[in-house]
Amino acid sequence: MRAVYFDEFGKLPEVREVPDPVPSRNGVVVRVEATGLCRSDVHGWLGHDSGIPLPHVPGHELVGTIEAVGPDVRRFQVGQRVTTPFVCACGECPECASGNGQVCRDQTQPGFTHWGSYAGLVALHNADFNLIAIPEDMDSGAAALLGCRFATAFRGLQHQARLTGGETLVVVGCGGVGLSAVMIGIALGARVVAVDIDDAALARAARLGATHTVNSLGLSRQEVLAAIAAAAPEGVQVSVDALGREETAAVGILSLAPRGRHVQIGLFPGEPVIPMSAVIGKELSVLGSHGMPARDYQGLLDLVASGALRPEALIERRLVLDDVPGALAAMAQDRSELGVAVIQVG
Mean pLDDT of 100-121: 96
Mean pLDDT of 97-102: 95
* All structural domains of the chain: 2-148+292-344 (3.90.180.10), 153-288 (3.40.50.720)
pLDDT tens-digit map of 182-195: 999 999 999 999 99
Whether 12 contacts 57, CB under 8 Å: no
Whether 35 contacts 343, CB under 8 Å: yes
pLDDT tens-digit map of 12-39: 999 999 999 999 999 999 999 999 999 8
Predicted structure pTM score: 0.93
pLDDT tens-digit map of 227-278: 999 999 999 999 999 999 999 999 999 999 999 999 999 988 889 999 999 9
d(CA 338, CA 330): 8
pLDDT at 337 over 60: no
d(CA 206, CA 210): 5
Mean pLDDT of 146-175: 96
| Alpha carbons within 13 A on the beta-carbon side of 264 | 18
Query: What's the pLDDT score for residue 270?
Result: 85
AA identity, residue 178: G
Sheet-wide strand order for 261-264: 212-215, 191-196, 168-172, 238-241, 261-264, 285-288
Query: What's the pLDDT score for residue 338?
Result: 54
pLDDT tens-digit map of 286-329: 999 999 999 999 999 999 999 999 999 999 999 999 999 999 99
* Spatial CA neighbour of 104 closest among 77, 85, 82: 85
Share of the chain above pLDDT 90, in %: 93
Q: What is the dihedral of CA 122, 40, 268, 243, to 10 degrees?
A: -130
Residue 51 pLDDT class (50, 70, 90 cuts): confident
Count CB neighbours of 124 within 10 A. Answer: 27
Query: What's the pLDDT score for residue 307?
Result: 95
Mean pLDDT of the chain: 95
In the chain, what's the furthest Cα-to-Cα distance? 60
Q: Where are the alpha helices (DSSP H) in the chain?
A: 39-45, 94-97, 127-130, 140-145, 149-154, 176-187, 199-207, 221-231, 246-254, 276-281, 297-305, 324-333
> What are residue 315's DSSP bridge partners?
340
